[in-house]
Structure 1
Amino acid sequence: MIHPSTTISMQIAREPAAVYAFVSTLENFPLWATTFCKSIRKEQDNWVMETSLGPVSIRLAPQNSLGVLDHYVTPPSGETLYVPLRVVANGSGSEVLFTLFRLPGVSDEAYAADAALVRQDLNSLKELLER
């Protein structure tokens, strides 16, 4: 099944390498992804975020020079969710692109609320990196 999706973007006045380095450091997630990530810790070889849903494991795509920060999130339900996230050059700065999939059973209202939370987090990332 192909899911409907929305790609939410945010322009950041920082070079892509700096944005990528900051976002790829999972310890930084609680600083900018505040609507979802309350804290993060490493347990053996896994990263675990504390969220309003409870503990959620997260893993990022391997380090790369293409700006790919796709991540895989596994909530307590056990179903792993794929979250595409990219940093691309945009002139002298960066464009951060987050693709939000609408999964089966998600209402219009819930999907719009999720998109608003993503925008809020990307705006937090922008404010933090442009200081």
Structure 2
Amino acid sequence: MNGTGEESRHLSTCIDRTADDVYAYAADPANLPPWAHGLGGSITRIGDRWVAESSPMGRVEITFAPRNELGVLDHDVTLPSGETVHNPVRVIACDAGSEVVFTLRCRPGTSDADFERDADMVSADLTRLKELMESD
């Protein structure tokens, strides 16, 4: 892999809630702190962007895809360096429940170990989302 930027990994979890329920919850940026620890413990809205001051990457700005009926939860994260990372995310109906799929892309210059760490963080976030959604 060695950070060529050409590697992607699809990380997913199945949730015993309808796709509409999961999308409605996950599409609200105010709900991110309990489950998306990769974006930090707090988030505030500034115009059409959301800002996470305490993310593991420092202060990041997040711009979300407009709400839609297709389950698209894509979001762009602008890092402190000014680099913007596009994160494709989908909520897909699956039998009586849903599947959330996050496509993690290896950014150029990212080591294999860092890519694995990022994948572990995304997987942990998806697990927290599943636990929150299934506990209601």
TM-score range, shorter chain: over 0.9
Deviations 1:45-94 (A, max 9, x none): 32101212221110111111000000011011111110000000010000
| Alignment gaps of 5+ in structure 2 | none
Amino acid at match of 2:131: E
- Aligned twin of 1:112: 116
Provide the rounded CA distance (Å) in 1 between the counterparts of 2:56 and 2:116: 18
**Ranges of 4+ aligned residues in structure 1 off by more than 4 Å:** none
| TM alignment of 1:43-82, pairs within 5 A | 43-50=46-53, 51-82=55-86
| TM-score calculated relative to the size of structure 2 | 0.92
Provide the rounded CA distance (Å) in 1 between the counterparts of 2:29 and 2:39: 13
Q: How many residues align?
A: 131
| TM-score calculated relative to the size of structure 1 | 0.95
- Aligned twin of 1:102: 106
Indicate yes or no: 2:88 matched with 1:84: yes
How much identity, in percent, do the aligned residues show? Answer: 47
Please report the RMSD computed on the Cα atoms of aligned residues, expressed in angstroms. Answer: 1.3
| Alignment gaps of 5+ in structure 1 | none
- Aligned twin of 1:129: 133
Provide the rounded CA distance (Å) in 1 between the counterparts of 2:11 and 2:113: 17
1:42 to 20, 42, 45: 45
